[in-house]
Amino acid sequence: MTNHLIESQQLNKEHIMKLFKRANELRAFPSNSLKGKILTTLFYEPSTRTRLSFESAMLKMGGQVMGTENAKEFSSAAKGESLEDSIRVIASYSDAIVMRHNETGSATRAAKVSPVPIINGGDGKGQHPTQALLDIYTIYREFGRLDNLKIAMVGDLASGRTVRSLCYLLGKFSGIEIIFVSPENLKIGEDIKEYLGRHNIQFQEKDNLEEVLPEVDIIYMTRIQKERISLENYEKAKGKFVINSLNIPLLQKDSRIMHPLPHIEEIKLSVEIENNDSRVAYFRQAENGLYIRMALLEEMILG
């Protein structure tokens, strides 16, 4: 059966640790193991990190890349071709496909018809499993552990697929406490709360960021997803929770600020602070995505 990565729940602890080990090896000793293989990046929504880090990962491992960064306009989707038809054709040209799409469930639809691995690079408000993987790889590198951590997740928790995928992965570890901080109109979904409850992960919901900052090991900021909500909901939520030079001193000295990026008004720190305060981890986080995606591509393409 073809090996696809559609949702975080597919990954277990042992598999995650194996990927971390391989990512560390590839960081130190680059490999040409994907020479002769072709990756297609099929993106129906904008991306900087996911698409380019997958492409860089493939090229660094000796493979080749083709694709479209605007499949809605530049693929035959614009002529009305179904996703299922596009995937079956593209699969005949490729050894794996990374896909980002605006519809939740689109990656599952693609996987159902694809004879080559489909990697979900974000499906609407659904999931973004490789982001969650690079997030916990970053946590592991920064803290040396994935157990016994207190994490605040802040921002648009209703539409943010990175938070959903991260919660599913954190549910596999122990001693995790999560504090959700979101505008009243963009709270975390009941399905995530139910999952965390079932996996004995303690969580609470708060609405005072300044109260939460001193308590946590990690503050995981997210952007308000303007493109997925009404203008009215966006106006209600924007600028409500912001990390800036006034409240960053409230964080413990060994805590970390993470963000899947891109960040907009929810992080207002100068380039100088971002470059010199070691608590700012989000650029290291983005770089870690390259190595974990190298490990993942190798595993999924070579089996």
- Interacting residues toward ligand CP by CB under 6 A: 47-50, 122, 128, 131, 260-262
Q: Between 133 and 212, whose beta carbon lies closer to ligand CP?
A: 133
Active site residue 222: no
Active site residue 141: no
Spatial separation of the C-alpha atoms in residues 56 and 2, rounded to whole Å? 24
Contact 179, 157 (CB under 8 A): no
Place of tokens 């490999």: 31
Contact 174, 139 (CB under 8 A): no
Q: Between 47 and 94, whose beta carbon lies closer to ligand CP?
A: 47
Pick the catalytic residue: 22, 37, 100, 109? Answer: 100
Active site residue 279: no
Indicate the residue type of 239.
Answer: G
Contact 114, 2 (CB under 8 A): yes
Q: Provide the minimum distance between the beta carbon of 169 and ligand CP in the complex, in angstroms, as a whole number.
A: 15
Q: Provide the minimum distance between the beta carbon of 120 and ligand CP in the complex, in angstroms, as a whole number.
A: 11
Pick the catalytic residue: 49, 101, 161, 223? Answer: 49
Q: Between 180 and 282, whose beta carbon lies closer to ligand CP?
A: 282
Spatial separation of the C-alpha atoms in residues 89 and 85, rounded to whole Å? 6
Q: Provide the minimum distance between the beta carbon of 123 and ligand CP in the complex, in angstroms, as a whole number.
A: 12
**DSSP β-bridge partners for residue 39:** 65, 96
Spatial separation of the C-alpha atoms in residues 273 and 232, rounded to whole Å? 33
Active site residue 128: yes
What angle, 0 to 180 degrees and rounded to 10, lies between the N-to-C axes of helices 161-170 and 190-198? Answer: 10
Q: Between 128 and 293, whose beta carbon lies closer to ligand CP?
A: 128
Q: Provide the minimum distance between the beta carbon of 115 and ligand CP in the complex, in angstroms, as a whole number.
A: 26
Spatial separation of the C-alpha atoms in residues 290 and 171, rounded to whole Å? 24
Contact 177, 200 (CB under 8 A): no
Active site residue 228: no
Q: Provide the minimum distance between the beta carbon of 131 and ligand CP in the complex, in angstroms, as a whole number.
A: 5
Q: Provide the minimum distance between the beta carbon of 122 and ligand CP in the complex, in angstroms, as a whole number.
A: 6
Q: Between 38 and 261, whose beta carbon lies closer to ligand CP?
A: 261
Residue 120 exposure: Cα atoms within 13 Å on the Cβ side: 33
Contact 202, 176 (CB under 8 A): yes
| 286 Cβ neighbours under 8 A, 6+ residues apart | 49, 53, 134, 261
Distance of CA 31 to the CA centre of its chain: 24
Q: Which residues are catalytic?
A: 49-50, 79, 100, 128
